[in-house]
Chain A
Amino acid sequence: MSNLKTITVTVNGKHYTRDVEPRLLLSDFIRHHLGLTGTHVGCEHGVCGTCTVLFDGESVRSCLMFAVQSDGHEVTTVESLGDIDNLHPLQEAFMEAHAVQCGFCTSGFLMSLIPFLEENPDPTEEEIRDALAGNLCRCTGYQHIVDAVKLAAENMAVQS
């Protein structure tokens, strides 16, 4: 491939230098080039929110960016949150409230909610529903996700 571009990107605090085709979607780069498969892909046209990651700290659809655009930037994925034995309070709340069924959309919800809860540490139910509206879930009907966000906000307030 003639027109490969070399990019250096920081993902979850780790620097990666890779050669990529300009057309490579950021979502595919994260999943298939870096092997961070916690970020999932649901529609590739920016509606479902499954592929949401943080780009320089803000939530974005990784299917609506090219990997080349991340050169010199910081990407944060679900793998940056807690791990299996030490869940992040938001992940803990998702488990507690049964906000996960098939688990496919979950990372996108979590990555949308991390900046939301930073900006809105004590959200109302209506604010939560608005914040969730950019992510589709086909399993839960959202109610348990709303419950989880409330619970996370409470728990995170206690911890901070």
Chain B
Amino acid sequence: MTKKYLGQRITRNEDPRMLTGQALFVDDVEIPGMLHAAFLRSDYAHARILSIDVSAACNRPGVVAVYTAEDMGDFWKPGPLLVPAPRGIEGAFFHARTQIPMARDKVRHVGEPMAVVIGESRYLAEDALADIVVDLEPLEAVADLERALDPDAPLVHDDMESNLGSFVPQRKGDYEAAREQADLVIQRRIVIDRGAAAAMENRVLVAHWDAKSQEMTIWDTTQAPIPLRNGLAGMLGLAEHQVRVIAPFIGGAFGPKIMMFQPEEVLLPWATMKLNRPIKWIEDRRENFVATTQERGQIHDAESALTKDGHILGVKDVFLHDSGAYDPYGLTVPLNSQNHVMGCYDIPSYYSELKMVFTNKMIVTPVRGAGRPQGIFVIERLLDIAAKELDIDRAELRRRNNLQPDAFPHNHKIIDQAFAEFVIDSGNYPATLARALDMIEYEKFIKEEQPALRAEGRHVGIGVVAFIETTGVGPYEGARVTIEASGKVSVATGVGTQGQGHFTAFAQIVADQLGVDVRDVHVVTGDTAHFHWGTGTFASRGAVVAANAINAAAKGVRVKVLKLASKVLGAPEEELELADGMVRVADIPDQSIGLGELAVLANPMRGAVEPGSEPGLEATDYFGPQYGATANGTHAMILEVDVETMMVEIKRYVVVEDCGTIINPLILEGQVHGGVSLGIGNSYYEQLVYDDNGQLLNGSFMDYLIPRSTDMPPRIEIGHEVTPSPLNPLGTKGAGEAGAIPVPSLFAQAVEDALYDYDLEVLEMPLSPNRLFELCYQKGS
């Protein structure tokens, strides 16, 4: 097989449709007779519901129905626990308290739905929200992560003894013994606050029950159409084949769109069956800030023990993880944090306690990075502080502790998000680090440029941090590849797509296997009518799990093509080649047949398909990795701080990325750029500010600051290292989240370096100019 496309900078198949406004997004779906939903959401973070009177709303012209939890009867149920807790960790516990479709007895976060109005237009439905009279008894809110565990703290869930939702202690080796031997022990408290995923497209849903055909069609901005279909069919008492979930083009997701079953996802399908009319709900931006899941809030009490020459003997980390009001996503996020503290380093002993805490805030589920940025922040900060204390160069300290290329597979010996021991498959960490240092000209900057700049009174700092990213977790994905009579190839897979270039990257793999033009491969994702099995797009797994399933299916078709062509062309299979949409006998170009023609022969109108064979040139296959692949990288940046205003300007940004085999460098670079921009947001711009009552104070794009074009570095320079994963035939590792993961750690280090004369230690994220001003000029606040 010639690899004409794999690894090439192929422009995207899907772009012409997107660029001309012809790509279907959920809000573009218009169905005659469609109704529109608007949700009445709690303004309180914690309150008891005494009564809800919807009569006036029901009487408003244009309102078709108003529902509260009462109306839902037996259909009202807490959602399923999406990810169960890992078993077999001694001393660990987990209490599942999953979200509910509408609040019944009390509300547990601002934005929790209490009623839904369904009307002839969204405008009218919003009018009717003002007619609903709700009598609430406000309760003290659990807003502060630490105070939530006070013995006298109010309870988010009344049936629990405390707000501690889960406790997971993990240990490797004997940290206390390591501490005894250490020359240096560093102890710090590290605080990381919440941010939003803030995809440009909010969540949108259209549910259409067709009573005559007895079919439910749901267009949903979900990352996981198949599990959603399966779950909804169960809830609604329908067969799976009666429910079709379509996730068409999705306007960015970044994690929260994997969350299910969102209250709206449960209510609309139920209501469309009751009303027998299609219903659309468009989440507006205000709702997105209070009704879509968030991430990152953690407090770590972290400690590292080192020798005087900078070797880590052990790390200890006791941390609180803010789960928000419910915990439907299990422990994925905090387990990732717990794992990533080990990073790309050889850490002989580790003791970590994860405490997941319920608060009266929006639910936490993965947001691009999914707990990993916090873990990396902890270890990288500990290393930076050690470097200063020991007077060892930051890069050198990392080099000394890096896992070496011959260390793989390396078992970190704690349980990871896949509930197995955290094993790193492959990598070359010293090479990535060295390359990044080289690209940013670290030595030259430190020795020549920085002293000169400092002499001028300028505050320009450099940072360099290394990170890993666990990617490509199971369980599996599948795909069906078909050569059609036109000679074009269609591919169907169960994952959804939200901008990752699946229509091109997947097509490249198939085009190489079948020798066709990449533009002749038509990929369908995210439609349960096209493929029945699968999980979804999350955890940087598309290019690993789905791509390998597609590769396997394409190989299956290739086998069929060769077998049939061998018969038709009268030549042994070994002598056949697939190129230009044809099967040719090598060296005899006119002895050939087009794939389309072959497809017709494989699906004859007369005669018989031979026993033991199947009609058509089609194959379906699956891929499930033994365990997840681990990508890695090093980021470096140079930034300048104006010490009068505390405004920061990033002057250079270097990424060296190792995600194994690269399918399409153009798309990969795009993924990295986007990740870095979110990371810059997480470092300096984006913070969800809650007050003591659990009220979000900046729930708009005016006050929640997403980086703009002018906030980004002039250029993100990217270098690639390629260490293929041995865990899958393509050798790929995921890259979707990588860009975001190390940025806060990097930013902290570079800011400290820039403000070398301010005795600054950054132990929190995100920062802001105001916060930097406080840290530099108002010590102690």
Secondary structure type dominating chain B contacts? loop
By the criterion CB–CB under 8 Å, are B249 and A141 in contact? no
In this assembly, does A153 line the interface, its C-beta being within 8 Å of a C-beta of chain B?
no
Known pairs A48-B701, A96-B11, A145-B709 / 12 extra A-B pairs, C-beta < 8 Å:
A43-B701, A45-B702, A84-B22, A98-B669, A98-B670, A100-B19, A104-B200, A107-B21, A137-B200, A140-B673, A141-B674, A142-B712
By the criterion CB–CB under 8 Å, are A103 and B20 in contact? no
In this assembly, does A4 line the interface, its C-beta being within 8 Å of a C-beta of chain B?
no
Q: Which of A48-92 contact B (CB under 8 A)?
A: 48, 50, 77-79, 81-85, 87, 91
A100: chain B residues at CB < 8 Å are 12, 15, 18-19, 499
By the criterion CB–CB under 8 Å, are A138 and B673 in contact? no
Q: Which residue of chain A has the shortest Cβ distance to B201 in the bound complex?
A: A104
A107: chain B residues at CB < 8 Å are 21
Q: Which residue of chain B has the shortest Cβ distance to A25 in the bound complex?
A: B123
Number of contact residues on B: which range applies? 35 or more
By the criterion CB–CB under 8 Å, are A79 and B21 in contact? yes
By the criterion CB–CB under 8 Å, are B670 and A102 in contact? no
A106: chain B residues at CB < 8 Å are 18-19
In this assembly, does B457 line the interface, its C-beta being within 8 Å of a C-beta of chain A?
no
In this assembly, does A44 line the interface, its C-beta being within 8 Å of a C-beta of chain B?
yes
B201: chain A residues at CB < 8 Å are 40, 42, 102, 104
B198: chain A residues at CB < 8 Å are 138
Q: Which of B361-406 contact A (CB under 8 A)?
A: none
From A45, A125, A137, give the contact of B701 (CB < 8 A).
A45
Q: Which of B24-32, B178-186, B595-603, B724-732 is the interface stretch? A: B24-32
In this assembly, does B478 line the interface, its C-beta being within 8 Å of a C-beta of chain A?
no
In this assembly, does B430 line the interface, its C-beta being within 8 Å of a C-beta of chain A?
no
By the criterion CB–CB under 8 Å, are A95 and B714 in contact? no
In this assembly, does B14 line the interface, its C-beta being within 8 Å of a C-beta of chain A?
yes
Looking at the assembled complex, report how far the CB atom of A125 sits from the nearest CB atom of chain B, in whole angstroms.
7
Give 7 nearest A-B pairs by CB, closest first. Answer: A38-B21, A104-B251, A102-B499, A103-B18, A141-B673, A101-B499, A141-B677
- The residues of A with any CB-CB pair to B shorter than 8 Å are 21, 23-24, 31-32, 35-45, 47-48, 50, 77-79, 81-85, 87, 91, 94-96, 98, 100-107, 110, 125, 128-130, 132-133, 135-146
A83 to B22, CA, bound (A): 9
A85 to B19, CA, bound (A): 11
**With A31-B27, A79-B20 given, is the CB distance from A42 to B712 under 8 Å?**
no
A87 to B250, CA, bound (A): 22
Contact with A along B666-677 (1 / 0, CB 8 A): 110110011111
Q: Which of B489-521 contact A (CB under 8 A)?
A: 498-501
**With A44-B284, A136-B200, A141-B673 given, is the CB distance from A103 to B702 under 8 Å?**
no
A106 to B252, CA, bound (A): 12
In this assembly, does B254 line the interface, its C-beta being within 8 Å of a C-beta of chain A?
yes
Looking at the assembled complex, report how far the CB atom of A39 sits from the nearest CB atom of chain B, in whole angstroms.
7
By the criterion CB–CB under 8 Å, are A23 and B123 in contact? yes
By the criterion CB–CB under 8 Å, are B667 and A78 in contact? no
